[in-house]
Amino acid sequence: MATENQTDPTALVQQPRVNLLGMSRKNMEVYLSSIGEKPFRAQQILKWIHHSGIDNFDEMTNLGKPLRAKLQELAEIRPPNVVKQLDSIDGTRKWAVEVGGNNLVETVLIPDGQRGTLCVSSQVGCSLDCSFCATGKQGFMRDLTASEIIGQVWLAIKSYDGFNNGNKRIVTNVVMMGMGEPLLNFDNVVEAMSLMLDDFGYGLSKRRVTLSTSGVVPMLDKLGDVSTVSLAISLHAPNDELRSQLVPINKKYPIAELLAASKRYIAKQEDTHRVVTIEYTLIAGVNDGVEHAKELAEVLRDLPCKVNLIPFNPFSLSNYKRPSNNAVNRFWLVMTEAGYVTTVRTPRGDDIDAACGQLAGQVQDRTKRSERHRQKAELAQPIRLV
Ligand code: SAH
Ligand code: SF4
């Protein structure tokens, strides 16, 4: 006979608690309404999390006790788990963050005078397999959640005790240039970036948050509809033949389409002086010749852009070489004389494998997932393979 104490078996299945760390203001307002609370509480909760670095509802003293108790039961603020922190002699700091299933992603902070640039990962590995990239060599495991993405900003500030430092935050700029292709994890990246820009989040200006993409054209168009962040395009070659060897997704979305989409992106922005950053990794004997520079200057002629040259950063699975300083300077000179604002990125943190393209973390590759993901990229727009 059933007794009052008999447990309902469905109640034994614990509902996972909602992680509020990665929730944008809009979604938090919807969430709070859904649990019968006033939407304006979202602003208070966001400030506790992202301005004060609080991850415990008990400390949110301007919320009533019943609301705190309710949130305790239904939700959580769970930052990613840092398993290793490495400090470079040049001040660069790298964190390895555990994301379950024996996988690690990496986040890098590059302090430079008053500026602190945080390089944030968007995926565990990457399915796009660019020939010069350590992340690409590892295959793909999964997308990061919005909490795991914004959590990298949270933990970087926490690590420097920046939450106790008023408005003087260690992170002044964010670049989505860590592991993964951000446009293939669109919703979570957009959600996390909205927290970077929100005054109740990190309050960064749109010029200080940059999304870098290897060129998933349909997603770039979608981004222009919902986001105002700065755009960096990983070009690396001035013609399709060479680019397809270095960046395989070029076979789907060739240079002309990518540059046209980049133009559409800045045209959608309200401020008229927007430019795209063209990233060009210089690889000795591959794409670093004067002839490549001249061709690049031609190809970019109609795009409002600046050029960032990145001397290749070596890693163990690659035979590519970094070009000589002479070759880098020659390339720089051709671009500069052609009228482009051109900078050369100084490698930072290469003693701790934190330089561009050296982020490898630890990825349990799921080949099938990689394949599915690649198809997702390719199906985004039905173009025939070149
Ligand atoms: N998937 C995105 C963002 C991550 S890669 C993209 O490809 O844009 C961030 C930047 O580092 C890209 O411009 C990428 O091309 C560059 N990069 C990758 N491997 C590199 C390496 N070994 N040396 C120098 N730059 C590299
Ligand atoms: Fe992926 Fe970017 Fe690396 Fe290419 S360069 S494999 S898109 S992370």
Ligand 1, atom 4, lies closest to the CA of 177
Q: Which two tokens stand for residue 304?
A: 């409002």
In the chain, where does DSSP find H-type helix?
9-12, 25-34, 41-46, 65-74, 146-159, 186-197, 217-226, 240-246, 255-268, 290-299, 325-337, 367-379
How far is the C-alpha of 125 from the C-alpha of 231, rounded, in Å? Answer: 21
Regarding the beta carbon of 130 and ligand 2, being less than 6 Å apart is answered: yes
Q: Can you say whether the dihedral through the CA atoms of 173, 175, 178, 184 is positive or negative? A: positive
Q: Give catalytic status of residue 298 as yes or no.
A: no
Q: Rounded CA gap, 366 and 368, in Å?
A: 5
Q: Which residues, 6 or more positions from 307, have their beta carbon under 8 angstroms from its beta carbon?
A: 277, 278, 280, 296, 300, 335, 340, 341, 342, 343
Tokens linked to 289: 């010749």
Q: Tokens representing 256?
A: 């002309």
Q: How far apart are the first and last CA of the chain?
A: 71
CA of 58 to the centre of ligand 2 (A): 41
CA dist 317 and 294 (Å) reads 30
- pLDDT digits over 363-374, tens only? 777 644 555 555
Q: Does domain 18-76 have CATH number 3.60.90.10?
A: no
Cα–Cα distance measured from residue 41 to residue 17, given in angstroms and rounded to the nearest whole number: 18
With the C-alpha atoms ordered 33, 39, 43, 45, is the resulting torsion angle positive or negative?
Answer: negative
pLDDT in tens, 169-199: 899 999 999 999 999 999 999 999 999 999 9
pLDDT of residue 100: 84
- Please state, as a whole number, how many other Cβ atoms lie within 10 Å of the Cβ of residue 365: 16
Cα-based torsion angle of the residue sequence 177, 180, 181, 182 in order, rounded to the nearest 10 degrees: -70
Residues with Cβ within 6 A of ligand 1?
132-133, 177, 181, 212-214, 234, 279, 281, 310, 312-313, 356-357
- Digits of tens for pLDDT over the chain (386 positions)? 333 444 555 555 666 899 999 999 999 999 999 999 999 999 999 999 999 999 999 999 999 999 999 999 999 999 999 999 999 999 999 999 998 888 999 999 999 999 999 999 999 999 999 999 988 888 999 999 999 999 999 999 999 877 876 667 899 999 999 999 999 999 999 999 999 999 999 999 999 999 999 999 999 999 999 999 999 999 999 999 999 999 999 999 999 999 999 999 999 998 878 999 999 999 999 999 999 999 999 999 999 999 999 999 988 889 999 999 999 999 999 999 999 999 998 878 777 877 666 676 777 776 445 555 555 555 554 322 22
DSSP 3-state helix, strand, coil percentages of the chain (rounded to 5)?
40, 20, 40
Between CA 368 and CA 373, with CA 371 as vertex, the angle to 5 degrees is 110
Q: Sign (positive/negative) of CA torsion 47, 49, 54, 58?
A: positive
What is the pLDDT at residue 368?
Answer: 47
Single out the catalytic residue among 106, 148, 191, 279.
106
The number of the ligand nearest the C-alpha atom of 249 reads 2
The domain limits of the chain are 18-76, 81-376
Q: Residue 183 CA: which ligand is closest?
A: 1
The correct answer on CATH 3.40.50.300 for the domain covering 81-376 is: no
Q: What is the position in ligand 2's atom list of the atom closest to the CA of 180?
A: 8
Structure-token match 């992340």, residue found: 135
Spatial CA neighbour of 146 closest among 80, 212, 205:
80
CA–CA distance, 21 with 164 (Å, rounded to integer): 19
- For 302-311, b/e burial (b = at least 16 CB within 10 A) is eeebebbbbb
Antiparallel, parallel or unpaired: β 93-98 and 81-87: antiparallel
The whole-number pLDDT of residue 386 equals 22
- Integer Cα distance of 115 and 174 in angstroms: 11
Residue 231 near residue 308, CB atoms below 8 Å:
no
Supply the pTM of this predicted model. Answer: 0.91
pLDDT in tens, 65-75: 999 999 999 99
Is-contact 79 151, C-beta < 8 A? yes
Could you give phi then psi for residue 37, rounded to 5 degrees?
-115, 165
Q: Indicate which ligand has the atom closest to the C-alpha of 312.
A: 1
Query: Residue type at 6?
Result: Q
Q: Are strands 230-234 and 115-119 parallel, antiparallel or unpaired?
A: unpaired
Pocket test residue of 242, 243, 279 for ligand 1, highest count of atoms within 8 A of CB: 279
Cα–Cα distances in angstroms (integers) from residue 48 to residues 149, 191, 305, in the given order = 18, 18, 38
Would residue 356 show up in a list of annotated catalytic residues for this protein? yes
Q: What pLDDT does 13 receive?
A: 60
